[in-house]
Amino acid sequence: MKEYNIAVLGATGVVGQQMIQALEEYGIPVRTLLPLASARSAGKKISFRGKEIEIKEATSESFAGMDYVLGAVEASESREFAPHIVRSGAVYIDNSSAFRMDPTVPLVVPEINGDDAFRNNGIIANPNCSTVITLMAVAGICKISPIKTMIASTYQAVSGAGINGLRELEAQNRALAAGAKPEAKVFPTQIAENVIPYISSYTENLYTAEEMKMQNEGRKILHLPELGVTCTCVRVPVMRSHSISVVIRTERKVSIDEAKAAVRAFPGCILAEDITDEWGKRDYPTPLDTSGIDTVMVGRIREDLTDPNGLALWCCGDQIRKGAASNAVQILRHLISG
Amino acid sequence: MKEYNIAVLGATGVVGQQMIQALEEYGIPVRTLLPLASARSAGKKISFRGKEIEIKEATSESFAGMDYVLGAVEASESREFAPHIVRSGAVYIDNSSAFRMDPTVPLVVPEINGDDAFRNNGIIANPNCSTVITLMAVAGICKISPIKTMIASTYQAVSGAGINGLRELEAQNRALAAGAKPEAKVFPTQIAENVIPYISSYTENLYTAEEMKMQNEGRKILHLPELGVTCTCVRVPVMRSHSISVVIRTERKVSIDEAKAAVRAFPGCILAEDITDEWGKRDYPTPLDTSGIDTVMVGRIREDLTDPNGLALWCCGDQIRKGAASNAVQILRHLISG
């Protein structure tokens, strides 16, 4: 079997660490793993297939000899490193938002538009986490009849803001337990025992950048340039896994039974009612159910009461796994197996 | 000033206690306050205007001489006591769901349809908590142009399930802090660091009873019998105050500026951006902001990207106060001042 030299850019972050774990879990044939991070982390060790591997400082010269680079850094850093990666001849699978809307860069969820990945010029973008999870839940239905509009409200875990988001909720929980005033630095106000309807930054139309990703990236991934999406992104005091309440309108009416069959048949998706034996009577997923796994779970499929061609549903997925790291490694797997 | 004999049925619960506090805060002219509860609580004392008042056991004979009875008991108990209350000549303002959809019983949010309260046959119903908060946020816009449809996703506090809901989240938080497994009795699964898209029970169309209240009660309160509402009710690990992400479609387009003016002008509502001085840059409410007050706060007003006549917004309100106890006392105030 052919083996590949693979670098992980941003190897110390939540997503970078998960990428390294996913490379191992998916049995990707790795000849050399090169974990890259800032100078501050260089010299630290990460574990891969039972061996300790030293983290190197990421520089413009880091990528020589690499076949693939998985990116888990901020958009600004991604833009800085991308030309060097492409110049080295490696294919860059980037989790940041830097290149997602670039028309020359495929934006890929392998189960939905995997073959787009082959039409790359050296860069492939990994979509926004809430977008991946929502689209995984509805893409099977979209194959029955194209989706015209979606109205989504999200319930996003604090780890979507990285390790500092996780630590802030933990610290605020401890403060509340001790009767102290929680301090907010990562999030704009207290997130413990609260919810915050604001993630990232406002755009001109008063939606946040995070909310617009669902429409912009959704159009590109589903190949539906006219798709309209109204999204409200809300941070909730959950450690891991995003949940989305979504209402979709399709061109023709899709029945509840058709929708359930489509979710069941879609790779990487589980209809929660099929696994209720483990949950007692519960036939819907919660974010705890999907934490630590790559599967997106779907439940609460109902007819939209405001439109005859609409369906309401609820879905949960681990935004660090399927919403980021696992999706990137699945793109890599698709490329090497294609 | 005329004074009234007022009983509170269910005086020991979260809502009943808040009703007694609201009677005091609103300066309702109370001659006699009669707190009623089950035999188990009889003999305990509650505090009202600095005096201790003994709780009496609620029986069919409890209501003689009362002018008003505020009800904070379950629907089944409400149905049991209502005939005795009406027979006694008192007006029953009931927070349960028992009579809300009875066509002979007005269902009232005083700021929206206060005058419906006068057309009563001895019973007035207080609406569902999420419904009150959502309608308070949109009723001003509805006066500009009637609302045709609403798509709502809720973020509901654990105290919506009463004191046992609050205690369960507190106990689960303690268990997690101690590294123990949280126990779920009140909620169908762990609510600490989780969200649960299921409140109350399923109805025939696969919506929960809680979700259908937004449509059924919304139609009655707004006098819009054709209103369509698709609602997803979700419990979140918040102690108090419900939040709702809602998209409304009106008959004609309402601009963002018109909507903001309508919210500003609506009694009992605050546009969050008007009070950002206290919050730094934050121009949207969170449930912590509305906990302990009667005001509903509104923010994130945007154009719906899926319908030219739609608006998206976010609102928060204390479901024990405006969503229950304060609304009931405001109905009483409206009746005695009318």
Q: Is the pLDDT of residue B276 over 80?
A: no
Q: Is B231 a catalytic residue?
A: no
For residue range A273-315, list pLDDT tens digits in order: 998 767 878 999 999 999 999 999 999 999 999 999 999 999 9
- Which residues of A belong to the active site? 129, 242
> pLDDT value at position A5?
98
Which one of A177, A247, A284 has the shortest CB-CB distance to B151? A247
Question: B17 to chain A nearest CA, in Å?
Answer: 23
What average pLDDT does range B89-107 have in this prediction? 98
CA separation for the pair A268, A318 (Å, rounded):
12
For residue range A325-338, list pLDDT tens digits in order: 999 999 999 999 97
Question: B227 to chain A nearest CA, in Å?
Answer: 8
Residue ranges in chain B assigned as alpha helix (H): 14-25, 75-87, 110-113, 129-144, 162-177, 209-222, 256-265, 287-290, 326-337
User: DSSP class of residue A254?
Assistant: -
Q: pTM higher than 0.90, yes or no?
A: yes
Question: Which residues are paired to A92 by β-bridges?
Answer: A69, A123
Judged by CB atoms closer than 8 Å, whether chains meet at A307 and B247 is answered as no
Q: Is the pLDDT of residue A101 over 90?
A: yes
Q: What residue in B sits closest to A187 (Cα-Cα)?
A: B282
What average pLDDT does range A254-262 have in this prediction? 98
Neighbours of A22 (CB within 10 A): 24
Find out whether A244 and A153 touch, Cβ atoms under 8 Å. Answer: yes
Judged by CB atoms closer than 8 Å, whether chains meet at A195 and B310 is answered as no
Domain shared by B71 and B169, yes or no? no
For residue range B107-132, list pLDDT tens digits in order: 999 999 999 999 999 999 999 999 99
Which one of A237, A302, A303 has the shortest CB-CB distance to B237? A237
Q: What residue in B sits closest to A305 (Cα-Cα)?
A: B230
CA separation for the pair B335, B338 (Å, rounded):
5
CA separation for the pair A99, A201 (Å, rounded):
18
Which one of B194, B206, B238 has the shortest CB-CB distance to A194? B238
From start to end of A233-285, where are the E strands? 242-250, 269-271
Question: B303 to chain A nearest CA, in Å?
Answer: 8
What average pLDDT does range A55-78 have in this prediction? 98
Structure tokens at B195: 């969200």
Taking contacts as CB-CB distances below 8 angstroms, the residues of chain A near B153 are: 153, 232, 245
Judged by CB atoms closer than 8 Å, whether chains meet at A302 and B206 is answered as yes
Domain shared by B263 and B163, yes or no? yes
CA separation for the pair B99, B10 (Å, rounded):
17
Domain shared by B121 and B146, yes or no? no
| Dihedral angle computed from the Cα positions of residues A242, A244, A250 and A253, in that order, rounded to the nearest 10 degrees | 120
Task: Please measure the distance between the N-terminal and C-terminal CA atoms of chain B and give it in whole angstroms.
Answer: 14
CATH of the domain at B69: 3.40.50.720
Complex ipTM, two decimals?
A: 0.96
Domain shared by B146 and B281, yes or no? yes
Judged by CB atoms closer than 8 Å, whether chains meet at B245 and A149 is answered as no
Judged by CB atoms closer than 8 Å, whether chains meet at A193 and B306 is answered as no
Taking contacts as CB-CB distances below 8 angstroms, the residues of chain A near B290 are: none
Q: How far is CA B117 from CA B68, B219, B258, in A?
A: 13, 16, 29
> pLDDT value at position A338?
76
CA separation for the pair B152, B160 (Å, rounded):
17
Q: How many CB pairs under 8 A join A and B?
A: 163
Strand, coil or helix: B46: strand
Q: At a CB cut-off of 8 Å and minimum separation 6, what does A249 contact?
A: A147, A148, A149, A150, A304, A307, A309, A310, B306
Q: Environment class of residue B185 by beta-carbon count within 10 Å: exposed (0-12), middle (13-18) or buried (19+)?
A: exposed
Q: Tell me the DSSP string of B298-325.
A: EEEEEE-TT-TTEEEEEEEE-TTIIIII
Judged by CB atoms closer than 8 Å, whether chains meet at A193 and B300 is answered as no
Domain shared by A135 and A85, yes or no? no
Structure tokens at A216: 């912009």
What average pLDDT does range A166-183 have in this prediction? 96
> pLDDT value at position B245?
98
Taking contacts as CB-CB distances below 8 angstroms, the residues of chain A near B150 are: 306
Taking contacts as CB-CB distances below 8 angstroms, the residues of chain B near A232 are: 153, 245, 300, 312, 314
For residue range B195-230, list pLDDT tens digits in order: 999 999 999 999 999 999 999 999 999 999 999 999
For residue range B2-54, list pLDDT tens digits in order: 999 999 999 999 999 999 999 999 999 999 999 999 999 999 999 999 999 99
CA separation for the pair A322, B52 (Å, rounded):
58
Judged by CB atoms closer than 8 Å, whether chains meet at A155 and B155 is answered as yes
Which one of B228, B304, B314 has the shortest CB-CB distance to A306? B228
Neighbours of B225 (CB within 10 A): 7
Q: Is B129 a catalytic residue?
A: yes
Domain shared by A297 and A260, yes or no? yes
Find out whether B94 and B117 touch, Cβ atoms under 8 Å. Answer: no
| pLDDT cut 70: percent of chain A above it | 100
Residue that is written with structure tokens 């689960």 in the block: B172
Find out whether A120 and A137 touch, Cβ atoms under 8 Å. Answer: no
CATH of the domain at A241: 3.30.360.10
Kindly indicate the confidence band of residue B338, based on its pLDDT and cuts at 50, 70 and 90: confident
Find out whether B211 and B97 touch, Cβ atoms under 8 Å. Answer: no
Structure tokens at B186: 């009140």
> pLDDT value at position A108?
98
Taking contacts as CB-CB distances below 8 angstroms, the residues of chain A near B155 are: 155, 195, 234, 236
Q: How many domains does chain B have?
A: 2
Which one of A189, A286, A301 has the shortest CB-CB distance to B194? A286
Taking contacts as CB-CB distances below 8 angstroms, the residues of chain A near B236 are: 155, 195, 236-237
For residue range B244-269, list pLDDT tens digits in order: 999 999 999 999 999 999 999 999 99
> pLDDT value at position A97?
97
Question: B209 to chain A nearest CA, in Å?
Answer: 13
Domain shared by B200 and B157, yes or no? yes
Q: Is the pLDDT of residue B1 over 90?
A: no
- Which residue, among A234, A297, A304, A309, would best test binding to B if mutated, counting the most B CBs under 10 Å from its CB? A234
Q: Mean pLDDT in chain B?
A: 97
Domain shared by B24 and B138, yes or no? no
> pLDDT value at position A1?
80
Q: What residue in B sits closest to A228 (Cα-Cα)?
A: B306
Domain shared by B96 and B210, yes or no? no
Taking contacts as CB-CB distances below 8 angstroms, the residues of chain A near B275 are: none
Q: What residue in B sits closest to A300 (Cα-Cα)?
A: B206
Taking contacts as CB-CB distances below 8 angstroms, the residues of chain B near A314 are: 197, 232
> pLDDT value at position B279?
82
Domain shared by B264 and B179, yes or no? yes
Domain shared by B277 and B140, yes or no? yes
Helix-helix angle B162-177:A163-177, to 10 degrees:
110
Structure tokens at A185: 């630095």
Domain shared by B146 and B239, yes or no? yes
State which residues form the domain around A89. 4-127+324-337
For residue range A105-144, list pLDDT tens digits in order: 999 999 999 999 999 999 999 999 999 999 999 999 999 9
